[in-house]
A and B are shown apart, each in its own frame.
Chain A
Amino acid sequence: ILNVEQSPQSLHVQEGDSTNFTCSFPSSNFYALHWYRWETAKSPEALFVMTLNGDEKKKGRISATLNTKEGYSYLYIKGSQPEDSATYLCATSPFGNEKLTFGTGTRLTIIP
């Protein structure tokens, strides 16, 4: 993998269902993985910053895991609600550099 890639590009989920999506990244020159949630016409909102292999972080119904050896992170949403509808972006930053390299995002739509 040469770039930060996210899959799927878009996802429709029934309210109440749980879902997850993937961020894949080159494991060379990787230091930190950032997840953002971006609602239409609003500012991207930071969710998590993760660095350690095997790390898991949680914020309410949203959690994320990180595998630095194989170069991927999963974002999980439990019991989806309409307010979870947004684009979820991941980004990597190398060691000693604050530059974020973003994926193209997963656009999540929750169906009431």
Chain B
Amino acid sequence: DTEVTQTPKHLVMGMTNKKSLKCEQHMGHRAMYWYKQKAKKPPELMFVYSYEKLSINESVPSRFSPECPNSSLLNLHLHALQPEDSALYLCASSQIGRGRSTETQYFGPGTRLLVL
């Protein structure tokens, strides 16, 4: 199974809502990633977890809160978002992370988020 799944596929939320994005993989990977892609822009890294510990935080605002409850699951908790946070949120996983530059990252199909 080389699949990374993400739920939901689409999400519409108001600026006062709290919601969560979920990502799951069953490849035995120990590194998981959140990327954000705005329209016509490249995906940008937000967070990296390696062995369930946060290893990279790309100065993301605190209204985005990642969580890695176990090695297969990655959540992104959303609270008090702004309309400019509307984007495609991609999850990825790789074998180990920990600075391994040549590891292939396997991506999910993304959650398209609209903040009203």
The interface of chain A, by Cβ under 8 A from chain B, is 4, 31-32, 34, 36, 41-46, 49, 51, 89, 91, 93-105
Are A42 and B109 neighbours in the complex by a CB distance under 8 Å?
yes
Are B104 and A49 neighbours in the complex by a CB distance under 8 Å?
yes
Residues 71 to 102 of chain B near chain A (Cβ within 8 Å): 90, 94, 97-102
State the CA gap A31–B101 with chains docked (Å): 7
The chain B residue sitting closest to A41, CB to CB, is B109
* Residues of B close to A32: CB separation below 8 A: 101-102
With A34-B104, A99-B48 in contact, do A89 and B98 touch (Cβ < 8 Å)?
A: no
B42 touches which of A34, A41, A51, A105 (Cβ 8 Å): A105
Interface residues in B, total, Cβ within 8 A = 28
* Residues of B close to A98: CB separation below 8 A: 31, 48, 56, 94, 97-101, 103, 105
* Residues of A close to B107: CB separation below 8 A: 36, 43-45
Residues 25 to 59 of chain B near chain A (Cβ within 8 Å): 31, 40-45, 48, 56, 58
Are A4 and B99 neighbours in the complex by a CB distance under 8 Å?
no
* Residues of B close to A42: CB separation below 8 A: 109
The interface of chain B, by Cβ under 8 A from chain A, is 3-4, 31, 40-45, 48, 56, 58, 90, 94, 97-110
At the interface, is chain B mostly helix, strand, loop or mixed?
loop
* Residues of A close to B45: CB separation below 8 A: 99-101
| Shortest beta-carbon distance from B21 to chain A in Å | 15
State the CA gap A22–B95 with chains docked (Å): 28
Are B109 and A43 neighbours in the complex by a CB distance under 8 Å?
yes
* Residues of A close to B103: CB separation below 8 A: 49, 98
* Residues of B close to A51: CB separation below 8 A: 101-102
State the CA gap A93–B33 with chains docked (Å): 14
Are B56 and A46 neighbours in the complex by a CB distance under 8 Å?
no
With A41-B109, A42-B109, A43-B109 in contact, do A104 and B102 touch (Cβ < 8 Å)?
A: no
